[in-house]
Structure 1
Amino acid sequence: MKTPPLTSLRAFEATARHLSFSEAGDELFVTHAAISHHVRRLEEWFESELFIRKGRSIALTRSGETLFRHLSPALAEIAETCTRVKALGGKQALTVGCIPSIASRWLVPNLQLFTAENPEVDLRVLYASENQKFSQSGIDVLITLGKEDADGVVSEQLFSRLTKPVCSPKFLAEHGPFDTPDAFISVPLLHDESRKGWRDWFAAAHAPWTGGDNWPVYQDFNLLFTAAIAGHGIALCPVDTFRNEIEAGDLIVLSDIATNTESYYFGTYSKNTPRAALNFVEWFVALANWTKTK
């Protein structure tokens, strides 16, 4: 056998947790002798002792400690998965990974529309990083930056990443106007993860980057735009993603000079994806396109 029997592994894990054959037997509803037998089978399989036996007390050996450290969370995950599958009944499981900016502004606010139309889907939404790859994610649909060209994978274009400087109406009234790139130099420039974005914007504006290194860097995209809406400075904004805030007047676009002009957000999924995942992608693509024409 490539792996030991699961029953023996469960017996070992319970024994290691309690450091008692009797208590492990009580938990698993078997006798002390049965637990001892399973542990012996494991020790024969590993060709190594897993417990140090001292009279009626036991302690883990180094091999036993290593096995227990990895086995206990693995068995807990198996139990959780089985419980979830059992609870599904006739439902279809669907896991969507989404970067925070799209999740907070588009996915979560509209998700009840999808769940109302697809009550048979058991949906889980997870945060994804901007550079995460679908083939390495273990999820059904990935919404993030960039198109993935791996075999057996489809990427549907969602939002443009065309990026322009924005600020709140209050900040514009107090510090504007911003008619030229030079006008941006003397005010707080808010950065997303690094200062490269503003350097790229000044390069696109054919203007020298002469400052801004002392202003805050926000690792989380949503924190950056909370700061911008609160009037703390000027942020670089993918205007398609934040078009609701722009249309509502919470953010003002300050210039037509843009970066990321050929960059997009994509929804990526397998060509052999379950129907629930395909339904979700079709719904989300339609949502992105419909809101562009409001």
Structure 2
Amino acid sequence: MYLPLRSISVFHAVARSGSISSAAEELNVTPSAVSQQIQALETHLGTSLMVKVGRGVALTEAGERYFSMIAEEIDRISEATQSIRGLRPVTLLTVRATPTLSSKWLLPRLRSFLDANPDLEVRLNGTNEVTDFTRETVDVEIRHGRGQWPGLFTEGLTEEWFFPVCSPGYAAADSMNVADVAQHRLIQSVKSQVQWPYWFSMSKITPPNQMRRVLFDRSHMAVDAAADGIGLALESSLMMWRELRDGSLVCPVRKPPKISQTTQWIVCPVDHLRKNKVSVFIDWLRAEVAQWQAEQAQYLRLPF
């Protein structure tokens, strides 16, 4: 149904001010243009809305009823229009990453990206669900895995080191031999690519038939459990860098085996790389990784 929105707006201005000339001045048009719009609206509605009274106008009964029905909505539209004027355009960048990487590594660094890119609005989707780029509106993903996803742009985020850690209140740094580890409660993230049996095999130690374990489905839970003194966790330097830096986690094992892997990958369709927001984000990721690697070499006490 056709709505004469211009005429409705003019009627609202006249009814509110009680004067055609005042409404014309407010709308920056001539009084005759205002009168023409009122006549057009009356023709459209099939009824008279106002009559001249002296140098002003008065609403008819139909005009009063019509004004009472539209006034609040017109005011709301006016307020919405004024509030949105002058706002800068915002581009949404949707990033998907694993929950642990999102909370432990990405989120603490995100402010620098937002400050450097004020025209970008970031939606960070922390999940282990693999993105179906043909159906989901995700721009770029940092995916956990082994980097084998044909047809997609794939770049390893960084090399990670895996070693046992615990709260310094649980055991001091360098206080154990590798053979002592099996005597402790072992914290394990079930989705980690490096598990305790592999660590024992790399240490050339036969683990006990029944290990005392506590299992979590998220690495950040395993990191927090170790910091809380529950036992020994086998985790990635990427995921626990802050706890290592702050001293809430230490490696209690002298000369643990050197185990490194790349488990986090920048992934997106190749054509997404042509989007400025995606290329800017990936460049920022690379710079942050380089800075993290430098800080790791300078400040983190790795056991190798």
Bin of the TM-score, shorter chain as denominator length: 0.5 to 0.7
Among all aligned residue pairs of Structure 1 and Structure 2, give the percentage whose two residues are the same amino acid: 20
Gaps of 5+ in 1: 1-85
Q: 2:215 maps to which residue?
A: 217
1:206 to 2:204 alignment: yes
Superposed, which structure 2 residues align to 1:144-183 within 5 Å?
144-145=143-144, 146-151=146-151, 153-173=152-172, 177-180=175-178, 182-183=179-180
User: How far has the Cα of 1:212 moved from its partner?
Assistant: 5.2
Q: For residues 250 and 221 of structure 1, do their structure 2 counterparts lie closer, same or farther at Cα, with a shift above 3 Å needed?
A: same
Of the two, which has the highest radius of gyration? 2
Match for 1:238 among 223, 226, 236? 236
Q: For residues 279 and 143 of structure 1, do their structure 2 counterparts lie closer, same or farther at Cα, with a shift above 3 Å needed?
A: same
Q: 2:250 maps to which residue?
A: 252
Q: For residues 209 and 289 of structure 1, do their structure 2 counterparts lie closer, same or farther at Cα, with a shift above 3 Å needed?
A: same
* Aligned 8 A contact 1:133 1:148 in 2: no
Q: Helix, strand or coil: the match of 2:279?
A: helix
Q: Helix, strand or coil: the match of 1:257?
A: coil
1:188 to 2:185 alignment: yes
* Aligned 8 A contact 2:140 2:267 in 1: yes
The two structures have a TM-score, normalised by structure 1, of 0.62
Q: Helix, strand or coil: the match of 2:169?
A: helix
Q: Deviations over 1:147-177 (max 9, x none)?
A: 24422x222221223311111111114x972
Q: Helix, strand or coil: the match of 2:238?
A: coil
Gaps of 5+ in 2: 1-83, 296-304
Give, in whole Å, the separation in 2 of the partners of 1:179 and 1:105: 29
Give, in whole Å, the separation in 2 of the partners of 1:201 and 1:104: 26
Aligned residues: 204
Q: For residues 137 and 223 of structure 1, do their structure 2 counterparts lie closer, same or farther at Cα, with a shift above 3 Å needed?
A: farther
User: How far has the Cα of 1:133 moved from its partner?
Assistant: 5.0
Q: Helix, strand or coil: the match of 1:172?
A: coil
User: How far has the Cα of 1:118 moved from its partner?
Assistant: 1.0
1:291 to 2:289 alignment: no
User: How far has the Cα of 1:211 moved from its partner?
Assistant: 4.7
CA RMSD of aligned residues (A): 2.8
Moved >3 Å (runs of 4+): 133-137, 211-214
User: How far has the Cα of 1:208 moved from its partner?
Assistant: 0.7
1:101 to 2:100 alignment: yes
The two structures have a TM-score, normalised by structure 2, of 0.60
* Aligned 8 A contact 2:196 2:234 in 1: yes
